Structure 1
Amino acid sequence: MQRLVSPPSGKGPAEWFNGPVWFDQIYQGAEPSRARVNSVHFAPCARTAWHTHAVGQTLHVTEGVGLVATRDGQVIVMRPGDTVYTPPGEGHWHGACSEHFMKHLAIWDGTGDSEVPETTWGEHVSDDDYACADRQRTGA
């Protein structure tokens, strides 16, 4: 047994996020484990860019109110205690709603193959697409 030392908090890179986002790496397994866990803190309106995960991703909200949306237009409102799973290859984004901060645990697996990326990042979510998803939260 050993106590793991976490790296310092990191600012979410502008290529992957719109708005202020900070993350803490909680765990990155060494082979044979491929588990990854980050705690991600989003300011209101902050969100990821579109992306996919080779082996899927699970989000578990610990604070605030957030959104996760898919390319086909599905939007799920996430609140503390909610868990949302996105399957391998599903294009999606997630972030805070316009009125609240949001923090979630992002849980995913590495691929075990250095030639296959864990996450493939796409374009930023437009302000219009974000606003449309956020309106679904309020029913407006």
Structure 2
Amino acid sequence: MPGTIIIPSSAQGSQPTLNPTATFTGDVYLDIYHMNDTTAMTNVTFTPCSRWICDKGAEPRRIKIGDMIWAPPGTTHWHGADEDSPMTHFVIALGKTTWHEAVTDEQYGVKE
């Protein structure tokens, strides 16, 4: 009978990275499970107030537990947690990821 496999967050030889880029607002933890030139698999945890999901130029949208989000290649978006709760998501990225500027307080304040 198969058994459960647990991959600790430190499986890559390090602890989760706190605020891996300057584009994050609030504390964000990044666990890398797999990374090469064409694919990244990471677990990202946003602490409260670390922002929402929003395509550039669009209205912010609230996401709920269990929602799946797909950002087509070339989509510029931001995402993160609400004021009162953390948010964790698992990322499977194919191709290059480009980090853009941080979300401003004004942009974050537009959400409902």
TM-score, normalising length: structure 1: 0.65
Instruction: Report the counterpart of residue 7 of structure 1 in structure 2.
Output: 13
- 3-state SS of paired residue (1:77): coil
- Asked whether the 8 Å contact 1:36–1:108 carries over to 2, the reply is yes
- The CA distance in 2 between the partners of 1:7 and 1:76, in whole Å, is 36
Q: Does 1:84 align with 2:48?
A: no
- 3-state SS of paired residue (2:109): helix
RMSD: 2.2
- Asked whether the 8 Å contact 2:54–2:79 carries over to 1, the reply is yes
Instruction: Report the counterpart of residue 27 of structure 2 in structure 1.
Output: 20
More helix by share: 1
Give the aligned length: 103
- Asked whether the 8 Å contact 1:7–1:24 carries over to 2, the reply is no
Q: Which runs of 5+ in 2 are unaligned?
A: 1-6
Q: Deviations over 1:61-108 (max 9, x none)?
A: xxxxxx310112133322221100111111110100111111011210
Structure 1 counterpart of 2:88, from 95, 100, 103: 103
Identity level (%):
30
More strand by share: 1
Alignment of 1:34-113 (within 5 A): 34-47=38-51, 67-110=52-95
TM-score, normalising length: structure 2: 0.79
